[in-house]
Amino acid sequence: MNADQRMIDRTPRIALLIDADNSPAAKIGVILNELSTFGETSIRRAYGNWKKQELRGWEEQLHEHAIRPIQQFDYSKGKNASDMAMIIDALDLLYTDRPEAFGIVSSDADFTPLVMHLRAKGAAVYGFGAQKTPEPFVNACSRFLFLDKLGLGAGASADADETRNDDSAAAPLRVPTAKLRQDAKLVELLRNAVEAAKGENGWARVGAVGQQIGNQASFDSRNYGYATLTKLLKASGLFHLDKEGTSEVAVRDIRQARGSKT
């Protein structure tokens, strides 16, 4: 086996960088489980001023999940020096260790330029943060998952297994059909992706639809309260589904179905 083949066969490496000042310690298990669907999280670091009382809850999680704590003192009052330390380390890792992907855990929009740079250099970026996370940061990521939407036992990739029947990874509160259809940006995204992925028979495989969406936006169906893309498409009421519950599930725009005689 030559060097190029070894590179192809190697499990993708992920560097997980955590802004502990702006992230919940209780969700680290969820984050690591999520990242395991993309590769091996071989680098794990959490940044913060560990002398702060507010970060005491992190100690157990750091030990349990083998996360390396990076001490960063607050050099100026009211300023968070941890952000800068994370950015410097991310760039250093990008050009030295060269991981295939990064996990960035924060709700701070200051990381947006970093994410854009990492992606421009070919690395995927999986973001994790609160619902309040500014849209530019969310959109810059390859995929962004709102931690508020996940229970402690959740974590599997929303589109990794369209055949599962349980909703263990879904949010407790689902966005209802009426509200989904009022979300113009979501409706346009879904319809465009289905249109781009459809075959000659007018049907599109849901897996292909997911790929189309991934090429256009940072998206995860769980942010709307649905465990899989299939469930979200069905809940929207905008599409017909075929072979639901199988790996060959397909979708068709309901407007096209109305105009078809088949």
Rounded Cα gap, residues 224 and 64, in angstroms: 30
Please give the full DSSP string across 132-178, using - where no structure is assigned: TS-HHHHHHSSEEEEGGG--TT--S-TTT-TT----TTS-SSPPPHH
Instruction: Determine the pLDDT at residue 30.
Output: 87
Question: In this structure, which amino acid lies at residue 236?
Answer: S
Burial of 96 (0-12, 13-18, 19+ CB in 10 A): exposed
Q: Are 226 and 232 in contact, with CB atoms under 8 Å apart?
A: yes
Instruction: Determine the pLDDT at residue 158.
Output: 38
Homologous superfamily of the 3-149 domain (CATH): 5'-nuclease (3.40.50.1010)
Instruction: Determine the pLDDT at residue 80.
Output: 66
Query: Fold identical between 3-149 and 177-258?
Result: no
Q: Are 114 and 87 in contact, with CB atoms under 8 Å apart?
A: yes
**Cα-Cα end-to-end distance for the chain:** 51
Residue whose pair of structure tokens reads 């209802």 in the numeric block: 176
Distances (CA, A) of 25 to 29, 226, 249: 9, 24, 37
Smallest CA-to-CA distance from 100 within 42, 160, 141, 60 is with 42
Q: Are 190 and 233 in contact, with CB atoms under 8 Å apart?
A: yes
Question: What's the whole-number average pLDDT of the chain?
Answer: 82
Indicate the domain borders of the chain. Answer: 3-149, 177-258
Instruction: Determine the pLDDT at residue 54.
Output: 85
Instruction: Determine the pLDDT at residue 75.
Output: 60
Strand partners, 125: 102
Instruction: Determine the CATH number of domain 177-258.
Output: 3.30.420.610
Q: pLDDT per position in the chain (262 positions), as tens?
A: 454 544 456 789 999 999 998 888 888 988 998 898 899 999 999 999 888 888 888 988 999 999 999 988 766 555 567 888 999 999 999 999 999 999 999 999 999 999 999 999 999 999 999 989 999 999 999 999 998 866 543 333 334 434 333 444 434 478 888 888 888 888 888 898 888 888 888 899 998 888 888 777 778 888 888 888 899 999 999 999 998 888 889 999 988 756 554 4
Instruction: Determine the pLDDT at residue 198.
Output: 86
